[in-house]
Structure 1
Amino acid sequence: MMNKQRGKTRLLITIFLINLAYVINLSYANASGDEFPGRKLYPAVKYITIKDLKNKLNEVVVVDVRSKYEYQTLRIKGARHIAISNKKFVHEMKQLRAKVGDKDIVVYCNGKTCMKSYKAASKCQDYDVNGVVAYDAGIMDWAKIYPHDSVLLGKSPIDTDDLIIRKKFNSYLLTPDEFEKQFSKKKSIVVDLRDSFQRDATGIYVGLEVRINIDDKKALKTIIEKAKKEEKALFIYDAAGKQIRWLMYFLEANNTKEYYFMKGGARGYFKSLQEKYTS
């Protein structure tokens, strides 16, 4: 029994160190002043700029690799959806490659500090799916600049005034330290919103949190109603502080009374630990 517990403890420590090492690498990339840190972390991945993608939009195949919910909320007009979290991701990308011939396939996510587009392109390289490049400026930048080539909640062209503005979104953000302090003080429910492949087998608050996939609307509605009934606040975090922005549309539509997000998500949490123990 003790050996099993020790093994579990070693596993959790290993996972923690892997996460911390990743954040340190990302922090160094950010510290160099790079707007796109993923370009250094994934040097083998080819990328396309926002202007070049606009100019070539009718010549390439665009794939959204985020969750289904994020795709349904806001996407590039004409984009297909193949989530990197899908176990059949490689298989579906191979099928797409065979279908579209020699056209470049452009994968995108939430951009800049969101690494899904790089990871998707890198995974395609590993499995010999050629001609896959990453658009790394993200969907929000695209929607603001090219509203006629965007779809918001099923409508296109979009009205950029309907996008949740940064100021309002920021008002719901708490630093990792404040996040912990507040959910410890309040009647609360902590939600880990990360995709399964992003969790690395463990959560930040093991035993204290609920894990929900952002695509599982039934589970999301259940937890919202539970929070209302029990008069509890929702404290939600994702991988990098990106998915929560899309979840905000759902929370508002369901009249969620009190909710907060962790600034920077799990990545921000591990970065704050790095700063504490290396300063």
Structure 2
Amino acid sequence: MGPAGELRYPSYPEENGIWKFPGIGAFQCYDKYMLSSLKAAAEAAGKPEWGSTGPTDAGHYNSWPEDTPFFKKDGGGWNSQYGEFFLSWYSQILIEHSERILSSASSVFEATGVKISVKVAGIHWHYGSRSHAAELTAGYYNTRFRDGYLPVAQMVARYGAVFNFTCIEMRDHEQPQDALCAPENLVRQVGLATKEAQVPLAGENALPRYDESAHEQILKASSLNIDGSSNDREMCAFTFLRMNPSLFRPNNWRRFVAFVKKMNEGKDSRRCLEQVEREAEHFVSVTEPFVQEAALALMP
């Protein structure tokens, strides 16, 4: 779909130090093809003056929202008529791109039993601001006043695919509060959007984590009890990032085995956690030779 396989613009490239967390990123609409599309959209909207270029006051890759006229909370261009036009066009181009990819993939894998999923980035920094600047530059038209994930979920649902979301392991308090990071609120919003669109939700951790705190957060998020009501939903799948020598260190492997068993039990399990832990210890002992072999094989 895009960078790192995710449905987004390459708005925050990390190579060569171009972007550093938690910069807002930059709009990717200044090549001749995007500008041609923007020009046509502006003319169709009866505002040809809006079609010559993208925002010129949206800062740079490492800016913060309040440093820019376009993203500032009061009177920012994002919340103007021009901003609504531009951001609607910018996000729609991304959705149209994803539709082309999904249409092609669906035709290739039709009747094979392969399940297609669409990976969407968990851009949690500056989520607490009004503009959600980092999400906007990535192509998600999500602000305090607009749900940018429901249109994506509805598009995914049209193709019978799975909505695959990241940052499932993160807690709000673990992230820089000055950057108004809110991964838990973001996951909750995406969960509600996929529920409304009736599309399956899968999860993935954004960073390699081997601690129990991250595991417990994943277990909590995967239950999808996001609005406090009782429901039968839970994530349809989870991808653990990642297999490397650290995973196979004795303590990490022991915690990972217990985590997998708890995930397998599901939120409706009535079994006590102590029993799950005992079973995990047995599996750790049985797999010890294979784990040592895997750790050696993965060493650089």
TM-score category by the smaller chain?
under 0.3
TM-score (norm 2): 0.21
TM-score (norm 1): 0.22
The structure whose Rg is larger is 2
